[in-house]
Amino acid sequence: MRLGFVGELSYELHVPASYMPAVWNLLEAAGREFGIRNFGLEAQNVLRMEKGHIIIGSESEQRTTLHDVGLGFLWDRDKPGAKTVGAVALRQTENQQDRLKLVGFKLEKPGQVPKDGSLVVDTKIRGYICISRFSVTLNESIGLALVDAPLSKEGTRLEIYEDGCGDRRIYARVNPTPFYDLQGKRIRI
The domain containing residue 91 runs over which residues? 72-96
Q: Are residues 90 and 103 part of one domain?
A: no
Domains held by the chain: number = 2
Q: Are residues 108 and 149 part of one domain?
A: yes
Q: Are residues 58 and 146 part of one domain?
A: yes
Name the least confident of 90-94, 133-137, 140-144, 175-179. 90-94
Average pLDDT value for the chain:
90
Q: Are residues 81 and 43 part of one domain?
A: no
Q: Are residues 177 and 143 part of one domain?
A: yes
Q: Are residues 109 and 155 part of one domain?
A: yes
The arithmetic mean of pLDDT across residues 58-80, rounded, is 87
- Check whether 50 has a pLDDT greater than 90: yes
Q: Are residues 78 and 20 part of one domain?
A: no
Q: Are residues 177 and 91 part of one domain?
A: no
pTM beyond cutoff 0.95: no
Q: Are residues 104 and 91 part of one domain?
A: no
Contact 3, 12 (CB under 8 A): yes
Higher local confidence (pLDDT), 163 or 104: 104
The arithmetic mean of pLDDT across residues 7-16, rounded, is 83
Cα–Cα dist 129/58, whole Å: 10
* CATH number of the domain where residue 168 is located: 3.30.1360.120
Higher local confidence (pLDDT), 78 or 96: 96
Q: Are residues 84 and 53 part of one domain?
A: no
Peptide bond into 150 cis (omega under 30): no
Q: Are residues 134 and 46 part of one domain?
A: yes
Q: Are residues 88 and 42 part of one domain?
A: no
